[in-house]
Amino acid sequence: MSSVRAPRKPRSVAKAGDPVRRIQFLSVAVVLVLMLFSGRLVYVQLYAGEALAADAQLMRTNVKEIPAVRGEITDADGVVLATSVTRYDIFVDQEFIANWKHEVDNTLLGGPTEAARLLSPILDIPAPELAAQLNGERKYKIIKKDVAPETWDAVVALNISGVYSTPFAKRSYPAGTTGGNLIGFVGSDSQGKAGLEYSLNDILAGTEGSLTYERGSKGHVIPTGEQSSVPEVPGDDVQLTIKTDLEWLVQSSLNAQVAAMGGTGGFAVVEDIKTGALYALADSGTFDPNSPDGFGGSKAISTIFDPGSTAKTITMAAAIETGIATPTSQYEVEDKYTTANNQTFSDSHDHEKESWTLTGIFAESSNAGTVMVGQDIPKQVRHDYLTKFGFGTATGIELAGEEKGLLAPADAWDGRTEYAVLFGQSVSVTALQATSVFATIANDGVRVTPHLVAGTTSPEGEFTPSVQPAGVQAVNADTAAQVLKMLESAVVDGTGGNAVIDGYRVAGKTGTAQTPDENGELNNILASFIGVAPVDDPRLAVGVFIENPKVSIFGGDAAAPVFAEVMSAGLQQLGVEPTGSVPDLYPTTW
């Protein structure tokens, strides 16, 4: 009997959704989305709009610094020693170059290859090399730096689209090596790095300006965008007291004498006695600020040495002013002298007992005689006179790197130092300080401040002279006159014969000093002559210093000839006529 299969249960089938409900759901979703966007829009417009707009503008805003024109440096007569000239860095937009064309013989030529062909002879770059630099997609590609204005003008005349330039100021030194160690140089940022360029940087540099503008996504300026600018303020021009012709002569004379003496270097100072204006502050050697390698600064303010006979000048002035001696006081002087505390001092050469006046001791540069006289000056008074003449204090010259020298307090002097300072040992000075001593004697005992800056000129053309401190009365005028007359005897009757100048009366003193080597040992020699002229009406003080002369270590041989040449030229430049007067000298012997 066959079985009968039971019938299957019917499958449940999902009913289709209600179209009305689906539409309602979608409508609600759309409304919610629209509300979300509307709310965001309201938030942006009412609350965040200003901030977002500011952010967008900030992204478009660019600030370009506008460098200030650096002031010029000129000499006393307006000769330009440092100036800024315009130069250009040339760059290209390679996309513009690719699309550039011009017509040649009714044919359109263009692109990097044609542009390179035209630019090559002007920029002195081989055409294939230049074409490679012009080809590409860069918006900014420098192809030539430091281009002269006439070269850029020639490039502009080609009218090649996509070739641009960035102008900049480059420092130039027309006088070259003349005064190079004095002028110094600037760095790539046009800020002073050495010499007067450094020490006067705040005056010369000016204040940079700025240009604020909007730019598009490709870096181009938006013509209708907001723009603002802050104008730059040019630096002041600086006029120096230096006379370029004299500076050149001093350098040339130093170079020749250093070579003739087998020395290692030399430096010199030329100072106006009445005003302290420096007409020359020169070093041997050649430094050109246009190629600033090997800058050595000014040794006249940075090298210190035992002053030797310069200090004897101060000792003589102190002895006369305190009433201890007169220029004609009489002494019997041997080549050695021993003090009460058993300190023995010797002259530079052996000699028999001499019958010298105070002037004779000075003219012969006797250490023994100077100690014999100076021992009666109280110790603190000796120190006071050295201080009055500027020892131990920087002159304040407008030049970085000045040393103030060394002068210990009187109560720190040991039993030998208290006498050694009388003839210029155990104390150190610079050439500028030493020359200032002689200028002070020749200026009726008034010490004025040596200076290099005559004044400044503003961008508006207004000249402002420099103001110097009032002079300091180091010794009275009568004392100064007596010492000046003694200094004249040192030239006529003493060791300064090579400093004589025809037609002019000269007063001065030779010197030989020890200076430290690189290890601090006193193994170097500095031969010097410092003097003033004309004695009738002193105008100039000149100090000449020769380092390590091999032919002769004496200042009368190594330095005095340069003094005579420089002093003669300086007096002629100032228009000082020869007097031809005959000196009335103090006796040197008795």
Round to whole Å and give the CA distance between 589 and 582: 20
Q: Beta-strand (E) ranges in 130-264?
A: 141-147, 163-172, 185-186, 192-194, 209-214, 228-230, 237-240
Q: How far is CA 102 from CA 99, 106, 111, 131, 173, in A?
A: 10, 10, 9, 16, 42
Structure token pair of residue 6: 């039971």
**Is the bond leading into 534 cis (omega within 30 degrees of zero)?**
yes
What amino acid is encoded at 294 in this protein? G
**Active-site residue, 436 included:** no
Following DSSP, what letter does each residue of 38-53 receive, concatenated?
HHHHHHIIIIIHHHHH
CB 194 within 8 A of CB 184: yes
List 190, 199, 309, 426, catalytic entry:
309
What amino acid is encoded at 65 in this protein? E
3-class DSSP state of 565: helix
Contacts of 379 (CB under 8 A, 6+ apart): 410, 413, 418
CB 317 within 8 A of CB 385: yes
Contacts of 354 (CB under 8 A, 6+ apart): 332, 333, 334, 360, 364, 589
Contacts of 66 (CB under 8 A, 6+ apart): 208, 209, 210, 211, 229, 230, 231, 232
Structure token pair of residue 195: 């010499």
Catalytic residue numbers, as ranges: 309
